[in-house]
Chain A
Amino acid sequence: MAETLLQVRDLNAWYGAAHVLQGISLDVGKAEIVALVGRNGAGKTTTVRTIMGLIAKRSGTVLFDGIDLMTRQPYERFALGLGYVPEERRIVPGLTVRENLTLGLLAAHRGAAWEADAIDAIVTRFPRLGERLNQEAVTMSGGEQQMLAIARAMLSQPKMILLDEPSEGIMPALVDEMAELFIELKRGGMSLLLIEQNVELALEISDRAYNLDQGRLVHEGTSAELLADEAIRERYCGLITEHHDGA
């Protein structure tokens, strides 16, 4: 593994009395894509929300680029270069596509010229968004909204993005486009922690993977090795709906 960017050790989280995360430890390297898979209710979302500082009752350590995050507010974590694309996209209603994108630029404070360039780059990368800049964002299709959520998190050029089920409810052509984008981001030096129900896809584009079950990590390994080992896939994932045979 490359140099570590995110280091999580013995992470615990609770909702009231329910002990939902029970000692998670994981690493994400620089320019690495790491997949986090597991059944519904395993604690995947809770893991990234805790890393982002959104769960009140938690313990453990989270180091990001050598900095201890646990005592910091979510907005400070973003400022340190940690982006987040939440489950269900969370596009802000009542705002246009442009305004939603602008939200991603607020904290950068790098001047109007830099911001205009950043928006231009996004529009070039996502022409669909470019055509709809002045449309109310929540009136777009699910796939377009997902692209917007990712674009919004990318704008400030974070070191790492936490992605919670980005392919959910999106047509296959767009999913492929998204996978390409993730690989492109990785080539550009960005790290990704990717939660996916689509385990096949997650393993294909990631370097390593963690399997989470009932709040604990039950397996980890390189994605190539997981993808090759049918038994492991069956046993831990139990999520794969389709399998390419030799395609």
Chain B
Amino acid sequence: MSFDLIMAQLFAGVALGAVFVLLSTGLSVIFGMLGVVNFAHGAFFMVGAYAGVFILALTGNFWIALAAVPLLVGAMGLAVERFLVRPLYGRGSDYPLLLTFGLGYVLVEVVRILFGSDGMPFETPELLTGGIDIEGLGYFQTYRLFVIGMTGLLMLCLWLLLERTRYGLIIRAASRDPEIVAVLGVDVRRVFLLVFGLGTGLAALAGLLAAPMRTVNPEMGVTVLIEAFVVTVIGGMGSLLGGAIAGMLVGIVVSLTALFMPEMSTISMFALMALVLLVRPYGLFGRGVLAR
């Protein structure tokens, strides 16, 4: 097996990991803050990809789609939180879980009715086609480099938002003790709303970025949701850094097993999860106690 091939597969793994990172970050902030296990997260990922297809068909411009998709689907997330999830707070975590589970199915069916069941191709934007050949290392596709770069940039922005701004302080405090934040004058319901919107926006962006690397179809969110859960569990529920590291880890492990032991590639990440949980029951960066 050649070094070039391993490098190429490692690189593909990092790009795949970047998508996992974006997806699991959304899942993790929503869980960490609202205590909601969002089973519709994969559906928002898929809706993001289709929204991209739609906007691309309309405008012919990938960059417009890139900006519009997270905003549109994020707005959809706001409506979902406000009108569907909010009435269920304080009734136990299985209520929002069942709701989002059902919502996921509804979204898949709606997309199937609107766009059909067949997969759709998603052209790599022209500017990002091709690649870079680095002598002695291998060939790197521009689009994958772009996905990795975008993810890095977004994670940096998110980290700055959480650690360096007032709003981030509110989010961090409210994810630990929402009641205290409320009696100090903050409308916590609005914070919940925005965090849910942010999480769904990230899922949609992940879907759009993943679209050129796989086919777009109504079921694309189903397996990816499981992968996102695995990443979140490995990283530790509610931990941003944990999610980022675990996302990369899972991406690389999946890609490398696909190369060395193709028959094992679907279960390798579960093996990794079992291994991590044996050593660290709350995941790599889990806090141990859950907020509620």
Interface residues of A (CB under 8 A from B): 52, 54, 56, 73-75, 77-79, 84, 86, 90, 92-95, 99, 102-104, 106-108, 152-153, 156
Contact = CB atoms under 8 A, between A and B. Distances in A.
Given A94-B176, A106-B170, A156-B185, 20 more contacts: A52-B183, A54-B179, A54-B183, A75-B183, A78-B183, A78-B185, A79-B185, A84-B183, A86-B180, A86-B183, A92-B180, A94-B172, A103-B169, A103-B173, A103-B181, A103-B184, A106-B169, A106-B185, A107-B184, A107-B185
A56 B185 contact: no
Contacts of B183: 52, 54, 74-75, 77-78, 84, 86
Contact of A75 (B90, B169, B182): B182
14 contacts: A54-B179, A73-B182, A74-B179, A75-B186, A75-B188, A78-B185, A79-B185, A86-B179, A92-B177, A95-B173, A106-B184, A108-B185, A153-B184, A156-B185
A52 B188 CA distance: 15
B4 interface: no
Nearest to B177: A92
Contact of A92 (B90, B176, B182): B176
Contacts of A84: 183
A74 B182 contact: yes
A235 B185 CA distance: 40
Contact of B187 (A52, A73, A102): A73
A156 B184 CA distance: 9
Contacts of B166: 102, 106
A99 to B, nearest CB: 6
Contacts of A103: 169-170, 173, 180-181, 184
Given A86-B180, A90-B180, A92-B180, A107 B173 contact: no
B140 to A, nearest CB: 38
Interface residues of B, number: 19
B184 A104 contact: yes
Contacts of B182: 73-75, 78
Interface in B31-76: none
A143 to B, nearest CB: 19
Interface in B141-196: 166, 169-170, 172-173, 176-177, 179-189
Contacts of B169: 95, 99, 102-103, 106
A75 B189 CA distance: 10
A22 B184 CA distance: 28
A75 B176 contact: no
A34 to B, nearest CB: 19
A90 B177 contact: yes
Contacts of B181: 103
A144 to B, nearest CB: 17
A244 to B, nearest CB: 35
B177 A107 contact: no
Nearest to A89: B180
Given A74-B182, A74-B183, A95 B188 contact: no
Nearest to A158: B185
Contacts of A79: 185
Q: Which 9 A-B pairs have the closest CB atoms?
A: A107-B185, A78-B185, A74-B182, A84-B183, A92-B173, A75-B187, A90-B180, A103-B184, A75-B185
Contacts of A73: 182, 187, 189
Nearest to B173: A92
Nearest to B176: A92
Contacts of A52: 183
A131 B67 CA distance: 46
A109 to B, nearest CB: 10
Contacts of B189: 73
Nearest to B166: A106
Contacts of B172: 94-95
Contacts of B187: 73, 75
A79 B185 CA distance: 6
